[in-house]
Structure 1
Amino acid sequence: MQIDLKNKTALITGATGQLGRVMARTLAECGANIAIQYRNNEAKANELLDEIHAYGVRATIVQGDITSLQSILAMKETVQDQLGSVDIVVANAVVQYQWTSILEQAPEDYESQFESCVMQSVYLAKTFAPAMIERKWGRFIGINTECSMQNFPSQSAYVAGKRGMDGVYRVLAKEIGEHQITVNQVAPGWTISDRDRENKTEHSESYEQTVPLKRRGTDQEIANVVAFLASDLASFITGAYVPVSGGNVMPSI
């Protein structure tokens, strides 16, 4: 048994980011054609494009603003011209900001999280779901976070945005499920990425002691779950919030 995404096209938002780049490589390794969305880092997007081509699949880069419906519609046209219809949408991009307490957090930070978590999800659905409905196959995979369950101090804007995203994805799963389109979320814990490897910051004893598996997860472990949910192996899973956090958070029944 293997994950086979041949003849599928995946759009990954924030694909040049720490987790997005590994998701792009992993889906390409499984045979998917890849649309690499980026906002500002064109150099990294082109570097990733070369890496993706090495897997023998087709790929393209698309610059765009995931908080703008018009920008996402333009991205769709570019991908359609280069790769055909999008089968798999991975909503990975999010606006970065400085975390602080609710009393000190700027209102604009809550707005940026709403736009990049909730409205990105809405715009992606409006843009790409109709063609999936026609084909009776599709995947929406939102990248959430363990923070949505932790609700620790200073996380308020991030948690508010990701919890809003969770609501959109659960409703979307029920609205389009009859068309054999699955809608799921992957919720990473504090994940080891290229930045940690470069800075030698892979370990945090205080964090690792809170995790049942006693370690931090890796970017590849997150990408593996994304690939699984994108495949036919996960054809009867929808509406799920899947923590990939070593048991650090556990949804209750």
Structure 2
Amino acid sequence: MNQTMQIDLSNKTALITGATGDLGRVMARTLAGCGANIVLHYNNNEAKARELMQEITNLGRRAMIVQADVTNEQQMNEMKAAVAEELGHVDIVVANAVIQYQWTSILEQPIADYVSQFESCVLQSVFLAKAFVPAMIERKAGRVIGINTECAMQNFPNQSAYTAGKRGMDGLYRVLAKEAGEHQITVNQVAPGWTISDRDRASGIDENNPYAQSVPLKRRGTDQEIANTVAFLASDLASFITGAYIPVNGGNVMPAI
């Protein structure tokens, strides 16, 4: 018997860190479109967060904004308390925020950049787990989704701080998947390639660039394609997938067995 599969996140609450960023905005809209209520985390861009909250409430979902430094445990715990007071428990956690910095060689990269990447990739995920996974354990349900990168597999020159932070994040998520699995909590990672976002659309998209031509599908992925994968992993359709690192990059990197 054929059945139509549908991503239904009704009555779920999703927290997205870095929700005002290029990928975060589309994730928020997509999860809301699937029925989820949304917690929009931001660091600096309150205006964009409020604009996005209005978009989501216009869809008939509940939404709230919350400001926090994801590298600060106290602020993350304050975010947890604020969410609990307004929306209750969180069913889906998406760790999307990351600190931006100027890439250069290992010999020239400031040590502060390695610290910032560890804090925003690894410690953010630790703080989120400590804040939200215990309640998931009580409910015997939950989704934790980390936004990683294809760079973690490429290890190209000038990527050292970013790659180190994301590879550390990868190890943490694999361990968390094993620790939380018995409680029916899934823990997965989405690894985008060089993704087309609104910033690219505004400036023009050139698919004849060397990166796109090196991708087996001969194009760059879109922010919506990243968000679609997040929505799938957040849903019951992915109930038996955990510990996965899923590249969404047209085959540009391919994990091997």
User: Shorter-normalised TM-score: what interval?
Assistant: over 0.9
Which consecutive segments of 4 or more residues in structure 1 shift more than 2 A? 201-204
What CA deviation, in whole Å up to 9, does each residue of 1:106-134 have, x standing for no partner? 00000000000000011100000000000
Q: Decide whether the 8 Å contact of 2:207 with 2:213 is kept in 1.
A: no
Matched, 1:150 2:154: yes
Inter-partner Cα distance in structure 2 for 1:177 and 1:204: 43
Inter-partner Cα distance in structure 1 for 2:213 and 2:200: 18
Q: 2:83 aligns with which of 68, 79, 94?
A: 79
Q: 1:116 aligns with which of 113, 116, 120?
A: 120
Inter-partner Cα distance in structure 1 for 2:28 and 2:87: 15
Tell me the residue number matched to 2:215: 211
Q: Secondary structure at the match of 1:57?
A: coil
Give the structure-2-normalised TM-score.
Answer: 0.97
Number of equivalent positions:
253
- Whichever residue aligns with residue 203 of structure 2, its letter is N
Matched, 1:40 2:83: no
Residue correspondence of structure 1 range 1-253 to structure 2 within 5 A = 1-253=5-257
Q: Secondary structure at the match of 1:19?
A: helix
Query: Cα RMSD over matched residues?
Result: 0.7
- Whichever residue aligns with residue 200 of structure 1, its letter is G
Note closer, same or farther for the CA distance 1:142–1:103 as it changes in structure 2 (3 Å cut): same
What CA deviation, in whole Å up to 9, does each residue of 1:65-107 have, x standing for no partner? 1001111110011111111100100000000000000010000
Q: Decide whether the 8 Å contact of 1:95 with 1:112 is kept in 2.
A: yes
Give the structure-1-normalised TM-score.
Answer: 0.99
Inter-partner Cα distance in structure 1 for 2:32 and 2:196: 21
Q: Decide whether the 8 Å contact of 1:63 with 1:75 is kept in 2.
A: yes
- Whichever residue aligns with residue 180 of structure 1, its letter is Q
Q: Secondary structure at the match of 2:22?
A: coil
Note closer, same or farther for the CA distance 1:43–1:202 as it changes in structure 2 (3 Å cut): farther
Deviates more, 1:197-206 or 1:214-223: 197-206
Inter-partner Cα distance in structure 2 for 1:63 and 1:205: 37
Inter-partner Cα distance in structure 2 for 1:65 and 1:191: 25
Inter-partner Cα distance in structure 1 for 2:218 and 2:157: 23
Q: Decide whether the 8 Å contact of 1:192 with 1:216 is kept in 2.
A: yes
- Whichever residue aligns with residue 3 of structure 1, its letter is I
Unaligned runs of 5+ in 2: none
1:16 deviates by 0.1
Unaligned runs of 5+ in 1: none
